[in-house]
Amino acid sequence: MRKVLVCGAAFAATCISAVAAPGGALAKAPEPTPTAVPSPPAASPGLPGTPSATGTPTAPGTPDQASPTAAATGSPAGPAQDRAGAPDPVVSTRAVMVTPRPPKVLTYAYGKHPRQRMDAYWRAGTPAQARGQAPRPAVLVLHGGSWLTGDKSSWKYFARRLTAQGYTVFSANYRLATQAAWPAQRDDAVSAVEFIKKNAARWNIDPNRVVAIGSSAGGLLASQLGTYGDGASRVRGVLALSPVNTPYLAYQDGAKADATPGKRYLRRAVVDLVRCVPSESDPACWQRVEDADASSHVTATDAPMLLMHATDELVPPTHSTGLAAALRGVGVPATVKVVPGKMHASELLNDPSVYPAILSWLKARTR
């Protein structure tokens, strides 16, 4: 079988050189100043005991996200599930993979903490061409990692695919549970959306067409963007892959006799997130646990949601069925899509029905 490689040195050079800011990106910046900043190195890969995408703890040294070198060159790193949306490199004689021209990428600080950074992915020509284009919809992506690890770079391939569909994509880090207790993670997600909207003109995006996408632990943050306060005015919709929408349920599942190592790890992560052992006899702790539950904030002013899970996974569909029912009960559209198989978070993209469903939903929510 003949294999054809379409991209090579020229593609790599394009990836490295694609760091120019959009027109006017350095002039008259509002506070906080959205100046591009050097992206800090990704967290040390393979923390012992960290659950993989299938819920099994990885061995030390297992890569969780692209290394700084891989991020600079555009080369994939780590297992397939950590390279969300990465193109299949196998090319047959019947179909040639043509990698689209990579988008421009810059890292911005949306706050003072080193974790309050986001990577902006956008496609634009010259400033004159950008002025002639209609504002584009935007997508904020929030990574997973049990609120204890993870990095914005893990979704770079998915971000590139969405830019090819006309979206400007922002992949954000947020403070981890080891750095700040709940609700700091939700606060960071809210601040990221506010930063994007405040500086919408810089990337030629429509501030009224921002959608949140989250994976696993980041899925809870995306759901909270849609339910906390007036969610519908913050985002046009929420799409979450294996979202831990009910942290107390994860805490309970991790205590079962047949709990997998991944579920036991997630139970400990919930304790780290709220900085206490959930108990109704501890009112202050119980209040934090309830506040972290996305369904506890449901009102008629929430954002529509598409929540995806696999039939056999670390975070079962029960984390979203209650939330979806509560949303529908107040007239907010909400759908739970369950994919057959053993998958978690970005692994759901391996199912051929998932990415088309994501695109269809995004187009419907941002048109």
Q: What is the pLDDT along the chain (367 residues), one digit of tens a residue?
A: 433 333 344 433 333 333 333 433 333 334 444 667 755 544 433 333 334 444 443 333 333 333 333 333 333 333 334 446 554 444 444 444 555 578 999 999 999 999 999 999 998 755 556 667 899 999 999 999 999 999 999 999 999 999 999 999 999 999 999 999 999 999 999 999 999 999 999 999 999 999 999 999 999 999 999 999 999 999 999 999 999 999 999 999 999 999 999 999 999 999 999 999 999 899 999 999 999 999 999 999 999 999 999 999 999 999 999 999 999 999 999 999 999 999 999 999 999 999 999 999 999 999 9
Using DSSP bridges, classify how beta strands 136-142 and 104-109 pair: parallel, antiparallel or unpaired: unpaired
Phi, psi of 169 (to 5 degrees): -115, 140
Q: Is residue 103 in a domain?
A: yes
Q: Is residue 32 in a domain?
A: yes
Q: Is residue 227 in a domain?
A: yes
Q: Is residue 236 in a domain?
A: yes
Closest CA to 362 of 105, 143, 165, 100: 165
The pTM (predicted TM-score) of the whole model is 0.76
Distance CA 70, CA 115 (A): 20
The domain that contains 179 carries what CATH number? Answer: 3.40.50.1820
Q: What is the CA radius of gyration of the chain?
A: 20
Cβ neighbour number for residue 280 with a 10 Å cutoff:
8
Q: Is residue 2 in a domain?
A: no
The pLDDT of residue 62 = 33
Domain with 129 in it: 9-366
State the alpha helices, DSSP H only, in the chain.
Answer: 9-17, 68-73, 127-131, 156-163, 184-198, 217-227, 231-234, 247-253, 261-274, 283-292, 318-329, 354-366
Phi, psi of 171 (to 5 degrees): -105, 120
Q: Is residue 1 in a domain?
A: no
- Dmax over CA atoms of the chain, in Å, equals 67
Q: Is residue 15 in a domain?
A: yes
- Sign, CA dihedral 295-300-302-303, equals positive
> What domain count does the chain have?
1
Using DSSP bridges, classify how beta strands 117-122 and 104-109 pair: parallel, antiparallel or unpaired: antiparallel
Q: Is residue 351 in a domain?
A: yes
